[in-house]
Structure 1
Amino acid sequence: MAILNTRIREMRQQRRMTLAQVAQQLGVREATVQRYESGGIKNIKDSTVEALAALFGCTPEYLYGRESALPDVPGVLPLPACRTVPLLGSIACGKPLLAVENLEGEVEMPENIHADFALRCRGDSMIGARIMDGDIVYIRSQPDVDDGDIAAVLIEDEATLKRVYKIPGRVQLRPENPAYPVMEYQGQQLESIRILGKAVGFLSRVV
């Protein structure tokens, strides 16, 4: 199959158009569009390629394979490919909240972010890290983090989002808001805390 046929199919699928919709726009039969994509028609007319390019919002050169990437459209930013992860309730950005895992649904995130689940933030203790009340934070499950990482931490049956600092014999959970105190655990208190995972991204409701 030639690159022209492949790109016609790929562009139609990216634009979420059916064979019938493309056929209607071009004034041809659905089977003809299918043959454009399969290579059943060996020499597609230049005028047809130009019409397809206009329909898909690309250039004829891209369909022919003379351009390796889609051209930029002024004023329009391309969005990254996304996947979904479960949204498991809320986490405190303030005083710890009761940790009740409650599947609220799913949220999208870019494929290049490696996270296992998401939580909705409550409170303002992490505003210095630009994490606001109501934001969605993406968490990668892991039992430990590096000093200074922002992590979801379980404290007995409550959960909070803080920066984690490990000092010999103790652990500090530091907020990003001076209105909140540092939470420190040592000795037997360390048995009551557990790191759920590292925050690897967030989706802000502030625009």
Structure 2
Amino acid sequence: MEEVNNIVKRIKKRRLELEYSFQDLADKTNMSKSTLQRYETGAIKNLPLDKLEVLASALQTTPSYLMGWDEVKEEPKKKGVKIPVLGRVAAGVPIEMIEDILDYEEITEDMAKHGEYFALKIQGDSMTPRICNNDVVIVRQQDDAENGDIVIAAINGDDAVCKRLQKYNDGIALISLNPLYDPIYLKKDEIDGKPVRIIGKVVELRGKF
């Protein structure tokens, strides 16, 4: 019964796609309107092969399509790559050595081909309203970034911060999106002395509710 219903749906779908009335289809198949209506409603359960071929030709498709023999099978989903969600990162500590793993997130295989990634759970409200407390950001590991990029940077070897990067001739600024927080301005000698180190660039936000 389910197979009959599927054939009926495909016949009706093609007729409507071609904007054919029952009379249009009758003219193209030399079948009566009432017969075609009965095929489309499933009142006639058996569709003879010769009628199937005529009907498929009129509907500009194939008997195999109407019968469901050549339906495209859904491709299997690509496997994802799991990356750790960290609660903290610090300067000088390799990502793979950090044991403070809270969870795991998944990125695509294509994405994983373009670098090393980790995820970081954001603490605090300095990046609201765009990035909120407990949101997770996906970070590509890199030691430099462009103006305007949101980066993960470590200062004084302490836990890293998530800020927008602004470069100047004599230094950089790490800027919060929340206007209640003042930017952190750092001269070149401070960058080397503290030290300040970019750990990665935020490439994706995964908000948590």
> Which category describes the TM-score, using the shorter chain as reference length?
0.5 to 0.7
Quote the Cα distance in structure 1 between the aligned partners of 2:74 and 2:172.
49
Cα displacement string for residues 147-196 of structure 1 (whole angstroms, at most 9, x for unaligned residues): 00000001012210000011101100000000000000003101110100
Higher strand share: 1
- 1:102 maps onto 2:103 in alignment: no
Residue in structure 2 matched with residue 90 of structure 1 by the alignment: 88
RMSD (Å), alpha carbons: 3.1
Cα displacement string for residues 60-106 of structure 1 (whole angstroms, at most 9, x for unaligned residues): 97x95433657xxxxxxxx9853210222236xxxxx9998433154
Quote the Cα distance in structure 2 between the aligned partners of 1:126 and 1:105.
21
Quote the Cα distance in structure 1 between the aligned partners of 2:188 and 2:144.
18
Cα displacement string for residues 2-26 of structure 1 (whole angstroms, at most 9, x for unaligned residues): xxxxxxxxxxxxxxxxxxxxxxxxx
Q: Bigger radius of gyration, 1 or 2?
A: 2
Percent identical across equivalent pairs? Answer: 27
The aligned amino acid for 2:180 is A
Quote the Cα distance in structure 1 between the aligned partners of 2:131 and 2:202.
11
Quote the Cα distance in structure 2 between the aligned partners of 1:176 and 1:98.
23
The total of aligned residue pairs comes to: 133
Q: Secondary structure at the match of 1:127?
A: coil
The aligned amino acid for 2:208 is R
Q: Secondary structure at the match of 2:85?
A: strand
Quote the Cα distance in structure 1 between the aligned partners of 2:91 and 2:196.
14
Kept in 2: contact 1:153–1:162 (CA 8 A): yes
Give the 3 Å change call, closer, same or farther, for CA 141–68 of structure 1 in structure 2: same
Q: Which moved more, 1:187-196 or 1:142-151?
A: 187-196
Alignment of 1:36-185 (within 5 A): 64-67=69-72, 69=74, 81-90=79-88, 101-111=98-108, 112-114=110-112, 116-128=117-129, 130-158=130-158, 159-185=160-186
Task: Give the gaps of 5 or more residues in structure 2.
Answer: 1-63
TM-score, length-scaled by structure 2: 0.55
Cα displacement string for residues 134-156 of structure 1 (whole angstroms, at most 9, x for unaligned residues): 11111100111010000000101
